[in-house]
Amino acid sequence: DVKVTQSSRYLVKRTGEKVFLECVQDMDHENMFWYRQDPGLGLRLIYFSYDVKMKEKGDIPEGYSVSREKKERFSLILESASTNQTSMYLCASSLSEDSGRGSTGELFFGEGSRLTVL
């Protein structure tokens, strides 16, 4: 059974702390994504990666960074957590199109990491 695993389901952190959210996929997918999900706003893309060590900003990258040192692992980093980063964070992965120009659109999601920043 294919799987995307997020390291923590629930985290509580204090303002100013550095936060690491880890995501691992076992499907040998090229593309990996980090979204945040907020009520009434749907899913918003923070960062994505289409290859090892490659990363691209999504729609809301401010306050976040990412790391992809290995194909199967994509980490989201909050350098200095703030209360407005309290949210559900979803990691996803996908294969690339045959053209190599992006995701097939069929994303496989982890179960999410609910982060609360106090």
Burial (CB count <10 Å: 0-12, 13-18, 19+), residue 2:
exposed
Mapping DSSP to helix (H, G, I), strand (E, B) and coil, where does residue 83 land?
A: helix
With contacts defined by CB under 8 A, name the span among 11-19, 35-43, 68-76, 77-85 that binds another protein: 35-43
**Which residue among 19, 33, 46, 93 contacts another protein (CB under 8 A)?**
33
Contacting range for another protein; rule: CB under 8 A; set: 14-22, 69-77, 79-87, 103-111: 103-111
Distance of closest approach, residue 40 Cβ to another protein, in angstroms: 6
Site membership for another protein, residue 98 (CB under 8 A): no
Eight-state DSSP code of residue 16:
T
| Residue keyed to tokens 């194909």 | 71
